[in-house]
Amino acid sequence: MGFLSSCVESELAAIAKAGTWKTERIIASSQQTRITLSNGRKVLNFCANNYLGLANNKNVINAAKTALDKYGAGLSSVRFICGTQEIHVELEKKIATFHGREDAILYASCFDANAGIFEALLTSDDAVLSDELNHASIIDGIRLCKAKKYRYKHRNMADLENKLQESRSARLRLIASDGVFSMDGTVTPLSNIIALAKKYDAITFIDDCHATGFFGKTGRGTEEYFDLLGSVDIINSTLGKALGGAAGGYTTSKKGIVSLLRQKSRPYLFSNSLPPPVVASANKSGPF
């Protein structure tokens, strides 16, 4: 332990010296536009992902309370053993319908959804092409799979096409991108990605966490913003931002893909189900 402690202290010192030390600000109120900090100071909050202001919405809160009384605080089980209630199935159907897809699958977070999708779908015969500014969860999910990995320059379609040409021998090629990038706020050039995917017979994957619920005319995200509804093969997104802000993530796609994830996606298979109050709040807050 002595050597471990020394290594840990050295790493902590390096983080502090680099100016990247993270300090948690303690909030003494609910999540909203004006919040109260633990020191009593009242401030305007510009940094939450509570895009539609639903995290403190009374109707959403009441839906969670009702579910707490009816279904309990949690299920103490994974989905396929005894962790699926009617409200989980209802929410998955609503999500799929909202996105115009055949099916959807719930996760504890979109980080889990991203961590579980690439390994479940891709083999060592495949290739995944990822934007260099994709979210950390996409990067980590790709690391877990056996596919050959290509990283293309941020929103650079010429570089993406070069990588598609380099990976011609792959059985499947999957292009992975954020819809709206959390790193810099830019939007992925979806029209160009779809065109390249068609040209090279590739699969498209979009993480729409920073778009679902408010981006596009009816909140259907990056696809709708580009007037390309139904064009992306796989969409991952979150219930923890615009859609109530509690927690949860999902994948929505064709039924066969979702069925395979239910059988093979490790975060889904080995994580407890979303708590009923969280599911109910999403059911109430979502634009479904």
17 is annotated as an active-site residue: no
Collapsed DSSP state (helix, strand, coil) of residue 12: helix
Q: Tell how strand 42-44 and strand 34-36 pair up.
A: antiparallel
Going by C-alpha positions, the residue among 133, 134, 89 that lies closest to residue 114 is 134
| Residue from 135, 163, 210, 284 carrying the catalytic annotation | 210
Report the C-alpha gap between 111 and 249 in whole angstroms. 8
| Residue from 148, 154, 182, 231 carrying the catalytic annotation | 182
DSSP string over 222-269 = HHHHTT-TT--SEEEEESSSSS-SS--EEEEE-HHHHHHHHHH-HHHH
Going by C-alpha positions, the residue among 196, 167, 169, 178 that lies closest to residue 139 is 178
182 is annotated as an active-site residue: yes
Helix (H) or strand (E) holding 113: helix 110-121
Report the C-alpha gap between 167 and 129 in whole angstroms. 9
Collapsed DSSP state (helix, strand, coil) of residue 126: coil
Report the C-alpha gap between 194 and 199 in whole angstroms. 9
Report the C-alpha gap between 125 and 171 in whole angstroms. 6
Quickly list H helices, 20-57.
Answer: none
Structure tokens belonging to residue 176: 């992975």
| Residue from 241, 265, 284, 285 carrying the catalytic annotation | 241
146 is annotated as an active-site residue: no
DSSP string over 155-175 = T-HHHHHHHHHHTTT-S-EEE
Catalytic residue annotation: 182, 210, 241
